[in-house]
Amino acid sequence: MAVVFIGIGSNLGDRRRNCSKAVELMISTGMSIIRTSSHYETEPWGVKDQPRFINMALEACTFLGPLNLLQLLKDIERSLGREQTIRWGPRTIDLDILFYDDLIFSSEDLIIPHPLLHERMFVLEPLAEISPDRVHPVLKKSVRSLLDTLKSSS
């Protein structure tokens, strides 16, 4: 069973409910949730002219492999009304695989660890709440250290 960390975000509709519903749907598919972070209200990243986000992170266990997990998360996004629009644009829900065990993986559809997590305060803050000592398998730094570095450069 793999230990995975998922980033969750929403900036359309009932943002908190969208995030909570995504967690419920993950549980209903057999994922075992270990920890969830608080909700964080954050500024949009990438495309600035859009509503603020609610972001959170969770730690879970799954029997799914990385690509099957990605497909499950995409199915959950669609079931919650996510539509493909512009990159980094508004969305009812966004589910990203941040870490999958200590796996370093790259395919056309998926890169693990998430390639931008160390640049995103909205990912690092909730992740640091639930797993501050988790070490990024590529950068060899803890989540807490990555967050401190990002805060000091802002």
Catalytic residue among 15, 91, 120, 134: 91
Catalytic residue among 15, 82, 120, 134: 82
Residue 101 known to be catalytic? no
From the number of C-beta atoms within 10 Å of its C-beta (0-12, 13-18, 19+), residue 89 rates as middle
Residue 35 known to be catalytic? no
Phi, psi of 121 (to 5 degrees): -60, -40
Catalytic residue among 15, 96, 120, 134: 96
Catalytic residue among 14, 35, 75, 94: 94
Q: Are 31 and 60 in contact (CB under 8 A)?
A: yes
Residues 6+ apart with CB under 8 A from 118: 124, 136, 139, 141, 146, 149, 150
CB neighbours of residue 27 within 10 Å: 12
Residue 94 known to be catalytic? yes
End-to-end CA distance of the chain, in Å? 37
Active site residues: 82, 91, 94, 96
